[in-house]
Amino acid sequence: MPAYRVEIRVMPRAALLDPQGQAVGRALQALGFVDVEDVRVGKHLVVRLEAATQDAAAARARSMCDRLLANSVTEDYQVLVEAA
């Protein structure tokens, strides 16, 4: 089976307070990046896996997100698949 490289982006829900993002935003402002309006901090995971097709790899990755990698109460995720 072909190998795929899956990039998974997990972000705190837009409606929820992200104190980490706020702190980073304030630090950027202090460094003179005054044009910064908003910063949000999330997680970036890279998973290598074998699957029959690209769609199958994406479905597999979404299942991983639903069961472990993201918390559906507080986080949203995005899955990007490419051939490894």
Question: Under the criterion CB under 8 A, does residue 80 sit at the interface with another protein?
Answer: no
DSSP bridge pairs for 75:
12
Question: Under the criterion CB under 8 A, does residue 63 sit at the interface with another protein?
Answer: no
Burial of 70 from C-beta contacts in 10 A (0-12 / 13-18 / 19+): buried
Q: Which of 6, 8, 11, 12 binds another protein (CB under 8 A)?
A: 12
Distance CA 74, CA 18 (A): 10
Give whichever of 8 and 51 is closer to another protein, judged by the CB atom.
Answer: 8
Residue 19 CA, chain-centre distance (Å), reads 17
Q: Which of 23, 52, 80, 84 binds another protein (CB under 8 A)?
A: 23
CB of 35 to another protein, least distance (A): 24
**What's the length of the chain?**
84
Question: Under the criterion CB under 8 A, does residue 73 sit at the interface with another protein?
Answer: yes
